[in-house]
Structure 1
Amino acid sequence: MRHLKYLTSRLSQQKIAGVTFHLDPGHQRELTVLLERFFAQPAQYALLDTPEATRSVFLLEGERKWVLKHNRLTHWKKQLQNFLGLKRVFGLHDLTNEFINLSAVSSKSQSSPRVAAFGHVGRFPFLKEEYLLVNFFDDHCSVDDRVIAQPEQAAALLMDILQLFGQTLVEGFVHMDPHPKNILIGPGGELRLIDFECCAHSVLDHDFSLGFLLGYFYRYWFRKFISVEDYDACCERYLVQQHPALNRQVFQGVYERFRDRDVSRSTRYRILTSADAQAEFLRGLQ
């Protein structure tokens, strides 16, 4: 786990229930108590998402509320990669990756969670389990839940979401999975992003990235709530108002490609983190 030392060195290391945790020193006492209680009776804690065979998300409540994510790595190759950092781990789909991404993004964005602790179980050179503890956004609901309950709000809500996407690019990152379940609405209408397992830490090309965000958001499943014609019109109003200098030659093809067709996670990662891959993708659109 040496490749994470630049992140864990500022945290306090402590072993809890056989898990090596790196804790935020400012909350260490509270977090230690909460984690010890959790491991004593994990079945007593509320789940925040449908559990899978290798993944669970729990709500921990103390002086504050926290989200505890747990991930079991079952394949030896993945265990080896994550322990040794053999690949560019911020492009992989796991909690080690989310720890790296949030550590980079949360320092420059108010729309993302803050890391409270990162934990792991394993012996050299295999990482068996990962834990990530982040702050919980209380009294928030997902965009997905809101528009399912009130579909008439879809168009109005969309303008706020487009503003959020634009702000993330100004802040210097690209969330690679920006769908309605990963965007939360606060009690005052403020929007926040969660689930940073796949994220680019820099913006190679603003207009390319904007085309991806707007196109992907519709494709993933916002299309269930609004017609493509109305979505295009809303995006056009936003672009005219907020991005008058937009390079349409770059934006339009990327937007339509992601709006109309599925694109794999590996392709998204490649073209949003490599200038050469991005240029090749643009040539393919022509």
Structure 2
Amino acid sequence: MRHLRSLTRTLHKQRIEGVTFHFDPHHQHELSTAVRHFFTTPEQHTPLDTPEATRGVFLLEGERKWVLKHNRLIHWKKQLQNYLGLKKAFGLHDLTNEFINLSAVSAKSACAPSVAAFGYKGRFPFLKEEYLLVGFLDDHCSVDDRLIAHPEQASTLLPQVFDLFARMLDEGFVHMDPHPKNILIAPDGQLRLIDFECCAHSVIDHDFSLGFLMGYFFHYWIKRFIAMDDYRTCCENYLKVEQPTLDRSIFMPVFERFLTGKVSRTTRYAILTSPKAQAAFKAQ
């Protein structure tokens, strides 16, 4: 796990039940106590997502509340890649990668949760299990839950979501899976992002990235709550007021591609992290 040393050197290392954890030193005692309690009585902890055979997300409660994510890596190639850091790809869907992403993003953005701890279990050169703890955003609800309860709020929420996208780009990163379940609404109305397994740490082209974000957001999720023509109108109204200097020759082709069609995860990762791949996508 040498490729993570620059990220873990300031954290407190501790082994619990055969798992090597790196805790935020400011909350080390509280976190280690909560983790021990989880290992002792996992059935007493509330699942925050439907548990699967190889992964789970649970709520840990102590003086504060924390989210514990757990992955079990099955395939030997994935175990090898994650232990040795053979693929330094920000688009891999795993907790080692989310730890890397959040360590980079939370240092420059208040709309991302901070890392409380990272843990792993394995023996050189294979990583068997991954653990990630982040702060729990209490009293937040997802945009998805809000719209299921109040679908009439879609046109009101959209400009706020677009503002979040613009702020994200200004802060120098691109969340590659920005759907309504990954965007939370705070009690004061502020929006925040979760689930950073897939993220670009820099922005190659602002207008290209905004086209991806606004197009993807409709095609993959929000179309359940708003018709395409109404969505286009909301987008246009937002762009006229908030993005007057936008280069539409760059924005529109990307926006339309993601708005109306499916683009693979591999392609999304490539075009948002590689200038060469992005240029090729523009030329299509």
Common fold by TM > 0.5 = yes
Distance 1:266 1:131 in 2: 25
Distance 1:80 1:198 in 2: 19
1:119 aligns with 2:116: no
1:82–1:89 Cα contact (<8 Å) kept: no
> 1:242: Cα distance to partner?
1.2
Identity %: 69
1:68–1:132 Cα contact (<8 Å) kept: yes
2:161 match:
161
> 1:53: Cα distance to partner?
1.5
Q: Which runs of 5+ in 2 are unaligned?
A: none
> 1:25: Cα distance to partner?
0.4
2:33 match:
33
1:102 match:
102
Q: 3-state DSSP class of the match of 1:192?
A: strand
1:207 aligns with 2:207: yes
> 1:89: Cα distance to partner?
3.6
Distance 2:134 2:90 in 1: 17
Distance 2:89 2:255 in 1: 27
Aligned length: 284
2:44 match:
44
Return the letter of the residue paired with 1:250: I
1:89–1:96 Cα contact (<8 Å) kept: no
2:235 match:
235
1:14 aligns with 2:11: no
2:193 match:
193
> 1:188: Cα distance to partner?
1.0
Q: Could you list the per-position Cα deviations for residues 229-277 of structure 1 after superposition, in whole angstroms to 9, with x for gaps in the alignment?
A: 1111111111111111111111000000001111111111100000000
- Structure 1 range deviating more: 131-140 or 87-96: 87-96
2:250 match:
250
> 1:130: Cα distance to partner?
0.2
Q: 3-state DSSP class of the match of 2:90?
A: helix
Return the letter of the residue paired with 2:103: S
Return the letter of the residue paired with 1:53: A
TM-score normalized with structure 2 length: 0.99
> 1:45: Cα distance to partner?
0.5
Q: Which runs of 5+ in 1 are unaligned?
A: none
Distance 2:65 2:265 in 1: 31
Q: Could you list the per-position Cα deviations for residues 119-161 of structure 1 after superposition, in whole angstroms to 9, with x for gaps in the alignment?
A: 0000000000000000000000110000000000011011100
- Structure 1 range deviating more: 82-91 or 192-201: 82-91
2:174 match:
174
Distance 1:170 1:53 in 2: 38
Instruction: Kindly report the root-mean-square deviation, in angstroms, between the aligned alpha carbons of the 2 structures.
Output: 0.6
2:56 match:
56
Distance 1:254 1:90 in 2: 21
TM-score normalized with structure 1 length: 0.98
> 1:90: Cα distance to partner?
2.0
> Within 5 A, what are the aligned runs for 1:131-142?
131-142=131-142
Return the letter of the residue paired with 2:235: C
1:142–1:185 Cα contact (<8 Å) kept: yes
Distance 1:234 1:52 in 2: 37
1:276 match:
276
